[in-house]
Chain A
Amino acid sequence: MSKRFLAAALLLSVSALPAFAAKTSLVVGMPIEPPGLDPTVAAPVAIREVTWVNLYEGLVRIDRSGKVQPLLAKSWEISPDGLTYTFRLQEGVKFHDGTSFDSADVKFAFDRARDPKSTNAQKQIFAPIASIETPDAATVVIKLKETSGNFLYYLGWGDAVIVAPETAENNKANPVGTGPFKFKSWTRGDKVELVKNPDYWQKDKVKLESVTFRFISDAQAQVAALRSGDVDAFPTISAPELFAEFQKDSRFKAVAGNTEGETVAGLNSAKKPFDDVRVRRALMHAVDRKALIEGAYSGFGQPIGSFFSPNHPAFVDMTNVIPYDPAKAKALLTEAGYGNGLSITIKTPQMAYASRSAELLSAMFAEVGVDMKIIPTEFPAKWIEEVFKAKDYDVTIVSHTEPLDIEIFARDNYYFNYKNDKFKALIAEAGKTTDEKARFAKYAEAQKILAEDVPALFLFQLPKLGVWNAKLQGLWENSPIPSNDVTEVSWTD
């Protein structure tokens, strides 16, 4: 009798095994380790890739298709003049340290970010704010000085997440937010571990018990870690030439999506000969974008002719404005007085896409009589120092990964040294325009100006080559905002 019971129990447990065996832990691989874990005080993308909507939440969020969705604000109203935003907050939300979230935290977080001493990397988000009022614990009223077409969208970024006054100072090393996962530990040079937040306000959505972010910079090691199962997912793998193998392997899902990263070769417009638009156009004519993408990124990545992400609805394809045309390039150079040749240098960060692109550009320029020497530099420290701050360069190359960052060409003193008052005015207007159609039309015009003016050589959109275990679901295929949102990730068995 008892034997039969045992056998039955055994049978039951065996048949039930798959249900119990579904994994609840996830290891995500990342090529670069974040320098800290507070996205409100520094720019690096890696910070957002660990923390955004996993640890911290904002009033709103960007979803996987790039749209704004409610998060800590369950709803909002915008006054007809577009200057007053009234947010109704979720109630019963707690920070990881047990303190409760209310309107005072929102005011604190935004005041902290827009403080003159703050090192927030995207101050333009907060620039239009005139005042923040908190009529009650669940309501925040934000008054703007001027209309801001992208205000809500910006509030979805990692730079605008809500932090608590009690813990904000230590968020760099010991992050405390309201998100679905809590910080557990950080082994420098190796991994950051997060565990499920048992008090999360929408905890039914979350399937994973723990998430580990592991930092592996070497492309071969990334592949080895995926193959051996040490890492379950690499949302962006570093070596496109190794990606193709995963596409053939049924144990993995390999997805080529789009990022917000426009890869551009910045030209120092303040320096001869780049102050002459004919020279800039000539160099653009000399670039065969398709060949470049083939050689530098194994053919993944979309050619771009201006500085706008194809993920964005206002994107216009500008690759035909200055197409590949070496004869035209030579003619323009002759016209500008460089018919007998031109000697320039390019400062190249160590990332494979950058150094390979530089080599290819150098070969393409040689065809039109431009000799470009390659000077390797180290990203980020040396590059930031020499190129970004001191502007001591002719040509450089880097991918700009922030979403909707066309406004960098309107900034004074940005490393391109590009000055165009018409463009500046246009971007300022676009920012203030609340009507979507009108705003997108302005962005289209701005894209056209850049395409014709060539303050940088517009090359290609960096693809997001993601590889993960075929049994995983819920990971993002594109990245309309730098992130590794694991809230909805789960194992299928």
Chain B
Amino acid sequence: MTKRSSIRLNAALVIGGILTALLIATALLSLVWTPEVPTRVRVAMRLKAPLEAGLLGTDHFGRDVLSLLMVGAWNSLAIAWPAVLLGAAIGTAIGTAAAAWKGIADEIAMRVSDVVFAFPAVLSAIMIGALVGSGPFSAILAIAVFNVPVFARVTRGVALQIWTLDYIAAARAIGKHPLRITWEDVLPNIAGALIVQVTIQLALAILTEAGLSYLGLGVRPPNPSWGRMLSDAQTYLSQAPHLAIAPGIAIALSVLGLNLLGDGLRDALDPTLKGRGASA
């Protein structure tokens, strides 16, 4: 046993970690500092190329693209985080309950998940938008709803495995309540899988948020969002391609970073992969 076995660094983990840290740092920085006021319109300076005005140029209203991107990072995370956490909380509760009681409860939970799963996030966002009005709140809700079945399935899968283990059988034998078993014995053992899933779902949530904002269902103008920057850039593609490239790269790097981080974390945390990793 060496220290390396507690958390082993791998390339995916390092690169993903750096990209994700960069994303979070940018988002946090935007709260206290941006090169320009992101919503400041300067029509005289519209559609300037990168470096001609600011590091990444200006958009069709003369706003600084870099500042918009930075605030966009915050807005993107501000929707993705609560959405995934909400989805994870509800999904995990359903998944662990299904694993604990099995039988008819399990069946119902899983079939309902299947139904929810059948609706893509964008579709449920439009539905929720029609019910409560489109905006950041309904975007969070829509992404959360779409995350619930994902987490329900993942937790149920791993939890079912845990429930077959001897120490759970022992706990049941001494009359421990299933809720306490879940809380004290099951959850700590599936935490690794959950963390990995949260990371991967975050990537997906950022992508979905961009998609929703692209369609006008997410962050409201003039509050900047990567998705809307892309949709605004569309008709200026031939005149000012940087308007599309900048948010495009931002989305791609964030999603890549979180995915790599998720992969890396799985390799590092998954007990079933540990043996293989050590022998390699």
Contact = CB atoms under 8 A, between A and B. Distances in A.
A220 interface: yes
B177 to A, nearest CB: 49
A180 B88 CA distance: 65
Contacts of B238: 242, 245
Majority SS at the chain A contact face: helix
B5 interface: no
Given A241-B235, A376-B134, 15 more contacts: A219-B234, A241-B239, A242-B238, A288-B43, A291-B41, A295-B60, A358-B221, A359-B222, A360-B41, A362-B221, A363-B222, A366-B39, A373-B220, A374-B220, A374-B222
Contacts of A241: 60, 235-236, 239
A355 B221 contact: yes
A362 B220 CA distance: 12
A294 interface: yes
Majority SS at the chain B contact face: loop
Kindly name the residue among B40, B43, B238 whose own CB sees the greatest number of chain A CB atoms within 10 A.
B43
A350 interface: yes
Interface in B22-48: 39-41, 43-44, 46
Interface of A: 219-220, 239, 241-242, 244-245, 288, 291-292, 294-295, 350, 352, 355-356, 358-360, 362-364, 366, 373-376
B60 A362 contact: no
B235 A363 contact: no
Contacts of A288: 43
B61 interface: yes
Given A239-B235, A241-B235, A375-B220, A360 B61 contact: yes
A242 B236 CA distance: 7
A348 to B, nearest CB: 8
Contacts of B237: 220
B216 interface: yes
Contacts of B235: 219-220, 239, 241-242, 352
Contacts of A359: 41, 61, 221-222
Interface in B200-221: 216, 220-221
Nearest to A292: B43
A374 B46 CA distance: 22
B220 A376 contact: yes
Contacts of A358: 221
B90 to A, nearest CB: 29
Nearest to A373: B220
Nearest to B238: A245
Contacts of B16: none
Contacts of B222: 359, 362-363, 374
Kindly name the residue among B44, B216, B222, B239 whose own CB sees the greatest number of chain A CB atoms within 10 A.
B222
